[in-house]
Chains A and B, each alone.
Chain A
């Protein structure tokens, strides 16, 4: 029997506003504990929360970028639970009337485009941070309420994914889109992007889903992928051993050290949140004019940019995908082209030579070689001043010294030698010293020519024009 996993993701992104969602406290990361709190976010009686309009705007922008319908009427609700990370004993969230619904994004799956539905995007406040003492004899926990009230958008997908790979690609795409529209830093390490996984296993094509499990505590996209594969195997082995009843609806936590999930809460403790409309916050009536005004502020999104790169610059799907995954990288590429580089060669150079040398493509503007430098370097290859191979050497030097390519070439005498007489001299020396290879070639071993070219290039310190070398060498050998 063939089985498959059915996966849905809940992604929380922290919206990058200056102040919190319902009060004026700063959202700045890394402040002294409890230094960014006030009566509203610490849940004092009698206070009045007021919605930060930028939170609404950024939520709508994210919804538009995720192809969602924007509600004409939306409201906030209270989600009730006791936990010291929220002193009010409820979280202000959205229940039945979220800001955005029914969206989708397209991801790659097995080389094909697959559409993943987005059920909803809703706005809510974050909870505080609990710090647990390492000292187990110490029977206390520590609460920092700086994060309480920081704005979040929760993006819930349809259960449309079937593999860890699809989940990974979905997350990458969500992150890319969110960063393009600049509504969040979307940094998993800093907690501004968080993800929970819902996963069940069923026979391929079965009409119903299996019992689903929620997995939390996933701190990287890789962990999401690993947890999915672990859960699939765990549930599958229970199904195959006839213990399907042991798969229960529960929350499990991912243990990154052990690479496994463990049960956190069982069904009987399942939360009863008793949602009801928050009487302190007024409903939001969102006019179509307002939505269209926000829509007009949307920048070109990753998919649009990718399609344009393919049609305008004739890039391969793959190169266009890599270059548009991060906006700063796409901008760097376009500027390189604007400075006169051949688009395909620029794409090739950036993806194969440059990307391996930087840790974070978002910080490409800090890279010592600017787009104009790449454009100039590629032009020097195009007009045969240097060979492609020497260009790599020059590139390394540009990174270290920050000098212009022409200066490096002049200083180090790297100009390509295309002059036949100079090259002929080198060829003659090499042929004289490698009679065996010459004989091999003449006896039909065509491969020998590769060795000879290599020797000639080496003798010329890489400066000989490979095309001229090939031509002249063949001429001499076939004489």
Chain B
């Protein structure tokens, strides 16, 4: 399967990436190569294998509904780009 420039533009947009024309070209080639490599798997007959949602054979890992201590807000403040009055400050959102 070939990844063309339109695919790259779409994926870049979804990932909020600005790509230069050179990058678009480069990533088209690289991603096409990756997809082609992975496509080798299609040679296997998997018609009798159920699709896996999860690679670890574990089910029903749950916890009890018990409140645990949250982190100190100062810790959050340290890693937030901007912080004021207890809030994380972000560029104005308009939607």
Contact = CB atoms under 8 A, between A and B. Distances in A.
Contacts of B58: 282
Question: Shortest 7 CB-CB distances between A and B: which pairs?
Answer: A24-B68, A142-B87, A54-B65, A53-B62, A33-B86, A143-B88, A277-B53
A37 B87 contact: no
Given A24-B67, A52-B65, A284-B59, 9 more contacts: A18-B66, A24-B63, A26-B70, A33-B86, A83-B93, A84-B90, A132-B93, A282-B56, A283-B59
Contacts of B87: 33-34, 131, 142-144
A32 B86 contact: yes
A412 interface: no
Contacts of A71: none
B90 A25 contact: no
Given A34-B73, A42-B76, A282-B56, A24 B66 contact: yes
Interface residues of B, number: 34
B71 A141 contact: no
17 contacts: A19-B65, A33-B86, A33-B87, A35-B73, A50-B62, A50-B63, A51-B63, A52-B62, A52-B65, A75-B53, A138-B92, A141-B89, A142-B90, A264-B95, A265-B95, A274-B14, A277-B53
B63 A53 contact: yes
Interface string B1-31: 0000000000000101000000000000000
Given A53-B63, A75-B53, A283-B54, A140 B90 contact: yes
B63 A25 contact: no
Interface string B25-59: 00000000000000000000000000001111011
Given A32-B86, A34-B86, A82-B16, A139 B91 contact: yes
B63 A145 contact: no
B41 to A, nearest CB: 17
Contact of A145 (B53, B60, B88): B88
Contact of B93 (A42, A54, A84): A84
Contacts, number: 123
Nearest to B51: A277
Interface string B73-95: 10010000010111111111101
Contacts of A140: 82, 89-92
B56 to A, nearest CB: 7
A51 to B, nearest CB: 5
A198 interface: no
Contact of B71 (A38, A54, A143): A38
B71 A37 contact: yes
Contacts of B82: 140
B74 to A, nearest CB: 11
A36 B60 CA distance: 26
B66 A36 contact: no
Nearest to B16: A82
B66 A283 contact: no
B92 A18 contact: no
Contacts of A292: none
A83 to B, nearest CB: 8
A193 interface: no
Contact of B85 (A33, A35, A130): A33
Given A37-B71, A53-B63, A282 B84 contact: no
Contact of B68 (A19, A55, A84): A19
Contact of A142 (B65, B67, B89): B89
Contacts of A191: none
Nearest to B95: A264
Interface in A1-52: 17-19, 23-26, 32-39, 42, 50-52
B84 A142 contact: yes
Contacts of A23: 68
A130 B93 CA distance: 9
Nearest to A41: B70
Given A34-B87, A140-B90, A283-B54, A18 B67 contact: yes
Given A279-B55, A283-B59, A285-B60, A25 B67 contact: yes
A143 B88 CA distance: 5
Nearest to A15: B65
Contacts of B67: 18-19, 24-26
A279 B54 contact: yes
Nearest to A44: B79
Contacts of B73: 32, 34-35
Interface string A111-126: 0000000000000000
Nearest to A139: B92
B63 A272 contact: no
Contacts of A423: none
Contacts of B85: 33, 142
A56 interface: yes
Interface in A279-295: 279, 281-285
A83 B64 CA distance: 30
A35 B70 contact: yes
A153 to B, nearest CB: 15
